[in-house]
Structure 1
């Protein structure tokens, strides 16, 4: 018997409308995942993530209000089990280190690693599907 799990759920904390449209299209069009929420405000995102309980959180370093480091740190303090991905244009080693310290599971540069971020979410979705097929 195979277990049917809903699609991987993803929350996007991002302040660029262009990046949001691109991410939603790349995740939802091929059926990789379902975007369950978006915000450009770290406080709003935090509250919505706790309520929605997505499988993955993708956060930009700089948001319109607050930042992704604070968001990820606060989520980790609540023992949020979502996979946390930092996706930003600020890819200096100090930003990578700060993201790791805050508790990000992955860090990707929007300019050079955007497709890798989407690919990683695809891998997470694939693991979820494999788990469902085996149970």
Structure 2
């Protein structure tokens, strides 16, 4: 049974580290203090979202359908993962991308004028 490494301590929420690695083939064991990759520190929900994001090739409309969530919720989940991976979010760039995507979706007939106006207000 394979279990994933816990990236966060279930007691205090602090970062965890690996102290022992063992080869399943030759049984060699290496001890030390090994850091985890930044993806290991994502929550299970964030990892599932990233899996859906990749499977849908970043197409927000497809992600909405797959997860049964709204456009703003998809964008919030993306921002959550971006921050969890340690990246800063430039609000000005983020807002301009949002507006362009909303207008593109309106132009493509994916959303109504009323839906576009509501999204632009957020």
Structure 2 length normalisation: TM-score? 0.29
Higher relative contact order (CA 8 A, sep 6+): 1
Structure 1 length normalisation: TM-score? 0.27
Greater fraction strand: 1
| Greater C-alpha Rg | 2
